[in-house]
Every structure is written in C-alpha cells, then in structure tokens.
Amino acid sequence: MKAKIIGTGSYVPPKIITNDDLSKIVDTSDEWIRSRTGIEERRVSDPQTATSDLAYFAAKRALLSSKTDPMSIDLILVATCSPDTLFPSVSCIIQDRLGAQNAAAMDLSAACSGFNFALATAASFIESGNYKNILVVGADTLTKYLDWTDRNTCILFGDGAGAVMLKATDEDCGVLSSYLKAKGEDGKFLVMPGGGSRDPEMKNKRFIRMEGKEVFKFAVKALEESVLEVLKLSGMDISDIDFVIPHQANIRIIDHVIKKFNLPKDKVYVNLQKYGNTSAASIPMALDEAVAGNKIKKGDIVVLSGFGAGLTYAANLVKWG
C-alpha cells in the first residue's frame, strides 16, 4: 500500500502587509527585504482568527477537491507550532468543525518542517495498513508571535494553512520515500522562549528569536542534503526530478539549491513573494497552488523539502498519481 495525494487545499487570511507597510514600523525598506529575501508581502490574521480557523478552511478545500466524506477520515494530523491552545489540539478542533467523528486526531510539532514530518508519519500509517484515509494539514499564525520592533524577524513571516488528503492505493504512485532529520544541538538559533513549561508566566515574551545567518547556513545545507538523500532512498538522482517544492523561507536559499543541482527554474515552485515564510503551511500551500496551476502532471516525481526550528529538516519524494 502507498499513500496517494488525492486532493489539496489552502487558505490565507485576507489582510496583506507589504514591505512598504513594514518600513513605516521598523528601520527597513522594500528594496532591502526584496533583495535579501525575495518577499514582497505577507498575510496577517486578525486578532479573532486562530490557527484552527485557517486549518479548517484549507482542510475543507482539500476534502472538496478530493470528494472526501468527512466521516470516512481515519486520522487528522495537523503540523503546527502555533496552536490555538496547548490543548485541545488544532486537529481535535477541526475534527469537530469538519464533522469527522470517526477520525483520530493529533498535532505534530516540528516548526517549519512540520508538514514534511506529518506527511511521512501519515504515509507510514497507511503503508502499515492501519489507516486508509488521512487528512494532513500544515497551519501556522506566526505573525502573532513576532516582535514588530525586531527587523531581523518581523519581515520574514506570514500566516496560512495548506492541506492534503491521502488515500491508501495499490497503484504505482504516492509517497515513495521520506527523509527526516533533527539537529537539536543547534536549536538555540531559532527559538520562541516564552509561554512553555520553562516559562509559564511568560517572563520572556512569546516572540521568535533568531540568529539569521546561522539559520541561513544550516538551511542551505539542509535543503541540499534532504533532496539528495530522499532521492537516494528510492534509488533515484537529481535527473529524475520533475518538480521541487521547497520550503518558502528565502529566495536566496532556494536559488542556491537551483544552482547547486543545475535545476531549470520552472521546475522549482516559488510563491514566497506573496506570503513570506508561513512555517508548516508553506509547502502544502505551494503544492496546492502548483496543482491548481497545472504545474504537476500524473507520473511526475515531486520532491517536497524543507527545514525549520528544532533544528529540523525533512523531505518527501512523491510520485504524482
């Protein structure tokens, strides 16, 4: 049995913040942000909107596109590091809203790598024969945890959600291999210190703290390694790739990999100019857009590859069905 992606969906909140808007709050400019990151604008949730709201709409669209009855879902897996509450989980909240009473539900925390970790977990559940229909969602609202006076971080992130519906199949398609890695010793480079059990009273404000240069160096290597290794696990190499969906963090990180592997630019999907880094939502949002734009066809070999806090990095190799 393999896990086939039978539908995708995504959702972003309507409010747009442009680089020019940011230059009115911190000492930055549209030119600096575009040239150093590729980002032009990002979406920001209003105070009433939580991660589960975005996750719900993305999930609903994935169910519609795959014509899935919510009652047939066996498991809902939500990758997020910005849940509405520590519990109940986002997955339980959307289980209720979707009317998926037969589904088990759990969240998975691997920051921006979360969707790839969740997809790999879901594929293993399907391959084991335990479950047939799994909804995987990546959703984050990191703009709620930004220090809007810190120009090193507040320019990078945006809110969003993306989802895929997986079905057990004996066809020659689906998730072929997964490569998951963690580098806990470098976790200090990207941290949200406040609000956890080490600081329940939030003496440290719950803001993202990042050493950008260190994360950049890690990200370039992580993307490179995860693409090569996930291909190797299926006995393939760079020449077998039809399409790459990298984590949408910084165009310079993506360009490095394009150059390193000599990939044609039209084989690598980029939408970070519109959304910034949407964390666990970035890859499923880009996948949904690529599918809607007919960029991926039946039989294509697609690499989904990303990195994030932890530090973590991961890739999945998918044969499109």
Give the other-Cβ count within 10 Å of 298's Cβ.
8
Q: Min. distance of Cβ 276 from ligand COA in angstroms? A: 10
Identify which of residues 191 and 301 has a Cβ nearer to ligand COA in the complex. Answer: 191
Residues 6+ apart with CB under 8 A from 21: none
Both tokens of 232, joined, read: 């190797």
Burial, 12: exposed, middle or buried (Cβ in 10 Å; 0-12, 13-18, 19+)?
Answer: buried
81 is catalytic: no
Q: Is 249 in the site for ligand COA (CB under 6 A)?
A: yes
| CA 162 to chain centroid | 7
Active-site residue flag, 247: yes
Is residue 81 a contact point for ligand COA (CB under 6 A)?
Answer: no
For the chain, how many helices (H) and strands (E)? Answer: 9, 13
Minimal distance in Å, beta carbon 37 to ligand COA? 5
Among 127, 146, 187, 216, the residue binding ligand COA under the rule CB under 6 A is: 216
**How far apart are the two ends of the chain, measured CA to CA in Å?**
14
What amino acid occupies position 25? Answer: I
Of the candidates 288, 292, 314, 289, the residue with the CA atom closest to the CA atom of residue 303: 314
- E strand segments, 44-126: 75-79, 104-108
CA pair distance 290, 164, nearest whole angstrom: 13
Among 219, 241, 254, 257, binds ligand COA (CB under 6 A): 219
The answer to whether 74 and 102 are in contact (CB under 8 A) is: yes
The percent helix, strand, coil of the chain (3-state, each to 5) is: 40, 25, 35
Set 116, 133, 277, 316: catalytic member: 277
Which of 250, 278, 305, 312 forms a contact with ligand COA (CB under 6 A)? 250
- Catalytic hit among 81, 116, 247, 250: 247
| Binds ligand COA by CB under 6 A, chosen from 9, 160, 246, 308 | 308
Q: Is 109 in the site for ligand COA (CB under 6 A)?
A: no
Choices 147-155, 180-188, 254-262, 286-294 (CB under 6 A): range interacting with ligand COA: 147-155
277 near ligand COA, judged by CB under 6 A: yes
Catalytic: 112?
A: yes
The mark string for 110-139 relative to ligand COA (x by CB under 6 A, - otherwise) is --x---------------------------
Residues that bind ligand COA (CB under 6 A): 28, 32, 36-37, 112, 151-152, 155-156, 210, 212-213, 215-216, 219, 249-250, 277, 307-308
Catalytic amino acids? 112, 247, 277
